[in-house]
Amino acid sequence: MKILIVEDEKELADSMKKYLESEGYLCEVAGDYLKASDKVSMYKYDCVIVDITLPNGSGLDVIKELKENKSETGVIIVSAKNSLDDKIKGLELGSDDYLTKPFHLSELNARVKAIIRRKSFDGNNEMILKEIKIDLTQRRVFVNEKEITLTQKEYDLLMYFIANKNKVVTKNSIAEHLWGDDSDQSDSFDFIYTHIKNLRKKLLDKACEDYITTIYGIGYNFKTQ
Amino acid sequence: MKLLNKISLYYLLFAIPVMVACSFISYNMIFNEVIDNTDERLTKDFEQVKEFLKCDTIISHLSLNREITVIETGEKPVSTTPAFSDTIMYDNYEEEMLPFRVLKANFSTPHHDYLVIVGKVYLESEDLVDGIVTSVVIMFVLLIAGFFVINIFVAKRVMKPFNKTLSSLDNYDLSKASEIKFEDSSTKEFKKLNDALNKMTDKIFKDYQNQKQFAENASHEMQTPLAVIKNKIELLIQSKSISEVDMEMIQSIYNSANKLSQLNKTLLLLAKIENRQFAEVKEVNFEQLFEKTLNNYLDIIQQKQISLTKHYNSDVSVKMNPILADVLIGNIIQNAIRHNINGGTIEINLTPKSLTVSNTGNDLKVNADEMFQRFRKSEQSADSVGLGMALIKQVCDINKFSISYRFENKLHIITINF
């Protein structure tokens, strides 16, 4: 799986690269529009992460070029501009998702995974992780072939954990993922705890192994290894 | 008092002593003139009497005239110069006592010595004073009336540019992002005033714009380093060799970075709203928006055992920017949940004209009037940044909604009138 990160801020690009590489992706970084344009025309990527504001060009043009080549590449726009205009323009051009800076790496990872899954599974929307099987279309979860009923938030939480399995996921990123980045996260920590407690109980009830571990005060790890 | 009236008043105040002085002068002048005139006529009469007396005739005839008295003295006069004097005598025609000018003179013919007294009613000073006072009063009234009429005219015509300038200043709102142009005037002072105001408002407006832009740019530029900090910490905690103590430190750095990031995001949003970067307006269905937002926090509402009452008037659509509508409703709901007590209530009343959200909660620690100020927050939620209410207010202001907050019967009540 190849991913191109188009981002002029070197430190940010490095962080994204590092996190995604630890997930097993092959990552390349383009620091400006010209390099991005070159790479996009020469190589094939499964997913491109594009910053809108770039030196000597716009990220939107990179997306335009990608789509002109009828490429199947998934596109995630990453922008500091929280403007509806950029979002709409980007989505109109055919980008698949939109993330506002600053974002959590675990959130970016979850989005990348979702896009790649959508592009490559082609209707076969089942995901299996050990004894857990998830029907993505109907949002149903089975443990050892027995269905467990999750609330909407518990389902989202489980998906987020699975996307970032074997990674420490911070409480802040969970709060943002569950309630949106406008919510005041500090309020939500108690509720995250409750959700995790309930989710864990439902999984354990169906004899699922206990994958969720608490990492001190900072977050959780869905450990499958 | 109006400027014109004030000026007129000074003119009138000046006119009063001038008029009084002038009336004295004219009184004296008229009076002297009249006396001179009377004296002349008396002298003429006296000359006539002298002629008659010289002929020693018709003394009886002369005596008939009551104003001329001729008395035979029988002794040689010391002086023959006529002496004038004023006296008051009874006048038969007017049937009252009147001021008379009297000429007394000794006159000798070769045979007789006479004392001739010639008298004449002259102008009554009372009448003169009356006349002068009346004319002065009339003049004064005419002056006042004149000033009044001129003032009306001046106020309409000459003061027009001034009043225009005044009303455009009065209506000027710096945040409405428009420069004002003051019209040219042919009056020198007004022209100067408008020039000065144009210069001043231009400068204020530019400074204000720059400052707003600066606030936005500063927040914007802070986003990237904050993102770097957060992302690096996220990478750092993936390491398996971090001790619990170190992790605690990392956690507090991470929390602070998150808080800073949240704060910065909100400030940026406030600046953007102020800079009118959310210009696009659509019909926003508030009922759907409420349902969507409440649904997002449904789990928290349930966990806090808050009972929710909703009164939607069907199809309430408000013309505003959809993002700002999200911000508005999101913050109202978040506040109603965050500041609520376990087992409390939230009541939403939505009508086409207004929105009222009331919720239970702890007693108010800050002044209700200061509720919408930035960084104003109650003690219980020290973790929140204290910009929620300011954000709500800002969104309302920009959409010209009126918003009010009150604490009544242990309920926090926010009312917005569209």
Q: Does A18 touch chain B (CB under 8 A)?
A: yes
Tokens 């086409």, located at residue: B352
Distance CA A39, CA A43 (A): 6
- Across the interface, which of B261, B296, B300 has its CB nearest the CB of A102? B261
Which residue in chain A has the smallest CA separation from B296?
Answer: A179
pLDDT in tens, B275-317: 777 878 889 898 889 998 898 888 888 888 999 998 888 788 8
Q: How many CB atoms lie within 10 A of CB B370?
A: 10
* Cross-strand partners of A170: A219
On the CB side of B145, how many CA atoms lie within 13 Å of its CA? 6
Domain edges within chain A: 2-121, 126-222
CATH number 3.40.50.2300 is the correct assignment for the domain at A2-121: yes
**What is d(CA A9, CA A31) in angstroms, rounded to the nearest whole number?**
7
CATH of domain A126-222: 1.10.10.10
Query: Which of the 8 DSSP states describes residue B364?
Result: P
Note whether B147 and B11 are within 8 A (CB).
yes
Nearest of A175, A170, A147 to residue A218 by alpha carbon: A170
Q: Is A2 left (phi over 0), alpha (psi -120 to 50) or beta?
A: beta
Smallest Cβ–Cβ distance between B231 and the set A12, A184, A186 belongs to A12
Quote the Cα angle for B247-B250-B255, to 5°.
125
- Residue A166 structure tokens: 């074997």
Residue A148's contacts (CB-CB under 8 Å, 6 or more residues apart) are A141, A142, A202, A203, A205, A206
Q: Are strands B345-350 and A2-6 parallel, antiparallel or unpaired?
A: unpaired
Nearest to B227 among A12, A18, A170 (CB): A12
Query: Residue for token digits 């076969």?
Result: A124
Nearest CA in chain A to B385: A184
Flag if B255 and A172 touch (Cβ within 8 Å): yes
CATH topology of domain B282-417: Heat Shock Protein 90 (3.30.565)
Q: pLDDT (tens digit, 0 to 9) for every residue of chain A, 225 residues total? A: 899 999 998 999 999 999 999 989 999 999 999 999 999 988 889 999 998 888 888 888 999 888 887 778 899 998 876 566 677 788 888 888 988 888 899 999 999 998 888 887 665 678 888 889 998 888 899 998 899 999 888 999 999 999 999 989 998 889 888 888 766 656 677 788 889 999 999 999 888 888 998 887 788 999 888
- Give dist(CA B68, CA B46) in Å, integer: 9
Contacts of A153 in chain B (CB under 8 A): 299
Nearest to residue B250, comparing CAs of A163, A211, A179, A168? A168
A184 Cβ under 8 Å from any chain B Cβ = yes
How many Cβ atoms sit within 10 Å of the Cβ of residue B134?
10
Which residues, including other chains, have CB under 8 Å from residue B63's CB and lie 6 or more apart? B69, B70
A216:B251 CB<8 A: yes
Q: How many CB pairs under 8 A join A and B?
A: 117
pTM, entire model: 0.68
CB B21 within 8 A of CB B152: no
Structure token pair of residue A97: 């998702």
Distance CA B351, CA B313 (A): 5
Show residues of chain A in contact with B330, CB under 8 Å. Answer: 180, 182-183
Whether residue B247 and residue A105 make contact (CB cut-off 8 A), yes or no, is no
